[in-house]
Structures are given as structure tokens and as C-alpha cells.
């Protein structure tokens, strides 16, 4: 969790690859406005090895999460505030996915 917190707080100073840093910078621009993604950011990401698919997916995922967050905020939904809930839930989602198998029996 300390590593995740460090990435969230200042990914530029964390021990992730330069390519990941470039992609996270693009995602951060998307978070503010898709129009803030610059040609320089894209060129830099490509220069250090990011593929068109990786750049595309970064932008798509960042934009999707922005939309999801605005959607649930607009509906005034709630989310558990206890961080441990998410720590415990992550391995379950990784193993089981999101589909409730019993629903289709």
C-alpha cells in the first residue's frame, strides 16, 4: 500500500519505468481534460517505448474512469470508506472477476 500511495501522490519520484511515468502523465492530462494531452506527451511516450496501443489504452481507461466517477457521483451513490475493504476485495476480484455466476443458474 505504501508503494500505491507513493504512485498516487507523486508518481514521478517512484521507482516505476519511464514509460509508465509518461503514460501516467498522459492519464493525468486526460483526467483534467482530454484536450490537455499534448503532442509532446505523446512523442515522449513513443520515444521511450510506448506503443500506439498502450497510449490508446491509457487514454481510454483514464477517460472511462472519469466518466464512471462522474456517473456515480451524479447518482449520489456511496462507497465504503474503510480502505481495508478495497485491500481485501482486490484479490477476490482478481480471482473471481465481477460476474456473479449464481445469477445465471
Rounded alpha-carbon distances, angstroms, from residue 34 to 5, 14, 18, 19, 83 = 25, 25, 22, 20, 29
Residue 103 has pLDDT above 60, yes or no: no
pLDDT tens per residue across span 15-46? 999 999 999 999 999 999 999 999 999 999 99
- What's the predicted TM-score (pTM) here? 0.79
Among 77, 71, 65, which Cα is nearest to 30's? 65
Q: Which residues contact 23 (CB under 8 A, 6 or more apart)?
A: 45, 50, 54, 55, 58
Question: 16: which DSSP letter?
Answer: S
Amino acid at each position: 500500500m505504501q508503494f500505491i500511495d507513493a504512485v498516487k501522490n507523486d508518481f514521478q519520484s517512484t521507482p516505476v519505468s519511464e514509460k509508465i511515468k509518461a503514460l501516467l502523465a498522459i492519464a493525468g492530462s486526460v483526467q483534467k481534460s482530454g484536450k490537455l494531452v499534448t503532442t509532446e506527451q505523446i512523442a515522449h511516450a513513443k520515444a521511450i517505448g510506448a506503443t500506439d496501443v498502450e497510449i490508446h489504452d491509457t487514454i481510454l481507461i483514464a477517460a472511462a474512469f472519469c466518466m464512471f466517477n462522474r456517473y456515480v457521483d451524479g447518482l449520489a451513490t456511496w462507497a465504503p470508506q474503510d480502505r481495508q475493504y478495497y485491500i481485501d476485495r482486490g484479490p477476490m476480484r482478481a480471482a473471481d472477476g465481477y460476474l456473479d455466476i449464481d445469477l445465471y443458474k
